[in-house]
Amino acid sequence: MNFDKELNARGLSCPLPIVKTKKALADMTSNQVLKVISTDTGSVKDMAAFAEQTGNPLLSTVEENGEFIFYMKKK
Amino acid sequence: MANKKMAIIATKGTLDMAYPPFILASTAAALGYDVQVFFTFYGLQLLRKDLSNVMISPLANPAMPMPIPMPVMVQMLPGMESMATMMMKQKLKKHGVASLTELRDLCLEADVKFIACQMTVDLFEFDKSEFIDNVEYGGAATFMGFAGDTDICLFV
């Protein structure tokens, strides 16, 4: 999937992946896609909850070699 | 639509109990909430510029997981508190949990408002110069002004 910005949240625990995602989105423009890589298993549910509550669509969530990769579109 | 709001009353000043207010406040702010945290009694310790003295004690804390069973008589020996704090900090770091200072900075960056209870500041004779700058001072009524209109209100 194409993306405009990547956030490396490897090794970070709650709530850092969410807080850093929010900060990364702040510098982006509408419809741009943010790729987030996390190793925090809790971030799977948290990213979905973040997307739902903020209205930024979560385009996909994939697990690859113990890492979680999220693609989020800025609303 | 107006933002949702969350208010937290932070009353504890130990390392373990310092995390919930800062984690919840920074997360709520990231989710678009307007957040205020009211620090009172021992919670005021979390507003100090230097948070290195925020400790955890195994004493009277039977729920704290210890590497080996530790009788209360041993827990009360000098240095045990510093040791428990050091071990907890190492554990937090190993698991990628942010430091208290880092979380507090994230809150401030996200415009979380910190209010220090003026009454307890006076009671404990705290010097305001020891606190971070981004603090307002007020009483219970100040807090109610915001809390009365919140979606989430927590006492920690």
**What pLDDT shows up at residue B66?**
84
Q: What is the pLDDT of residues B7-27, one digit of tens each?
A: 999 999 999 999 999 999 999
- CATH number of the domain bearing residue A40: 3.30.110.40
B42-68 average pLDDT score: 92
**What pLDDT shows up at residue A40?**
94
Domain spanning B1-51+99-156, CATH architecture = 3-Layer(aba) Sandwich (3.40)
- With tokens 């009694």, the residue in question is B41
A18-39 average pLDDT score: 96
Domain span at A20: 5-73
**What pLDDT shows up at residue B65?**
85
Interface of B with A in 19-38 (CB under 8 A): 23, 26-27, 29-32
Peptide bond connecting A15 to the previous residue in cis, omega within 30 degrees of 0: yes
**What pLDDT shows up at residue A47?**
96
Q: What is the pLDDT of residues B88-98, one digit of tens each?
A: 999 999 999 99
| Chain A interface includes B106 (CB < 8 A) | yes
Listed by start position, the domains of chain B span 1-51+99-156, 55-98
Helix, strand, coil abundance in chain B, percent, nearest 5:
45, 15, 40
Token output for B35: 């957040």
> Is it the case that residue B1 has pLDDT exceeding 90?
no
The number of folded domains in chain A is 1
Contacts of B97 in chain A (CB under 8 A): 13-14
> Under an 8 A CB cutoff, do A50 and B30 touch?
yes
> Is it the case that residue A48 has pLDDT exceeding 90?
yes
Of B40, B45, B36, B53, nearest in space to B11 by CA? B40
**What pLDDT shows up at residue B27?**
97
Query: For residues A54 and B31, is the Cβ–Cβ distance under 8 A?
Result: yes
Of A12, A18, A40, the CB nearest to B27: A18
Are β-strands A5-9 and A67-73 bridged in parallel, bridged antiparallel, or unpaired?
unpaired
Query: For residues A66 and A35, is the Cβ–Cβ distance under 8 A?
Result: no
| Chain A interface includes B6 (CB < 8 A) | no
- With tokens 């979606």, the residue in question is B151
**What pLDDT shows up at residue A35?**
98
| Chain A interface includes B112 (CB < 8 A) | no
> Under an 8 A CB cutoff, do A16 and B96 touch?
yes
B106-130 average pLDDT score: 95
* CA dist., res. B53 & res. B121, Å (int): 18
B96, β-bridge pairs:
none
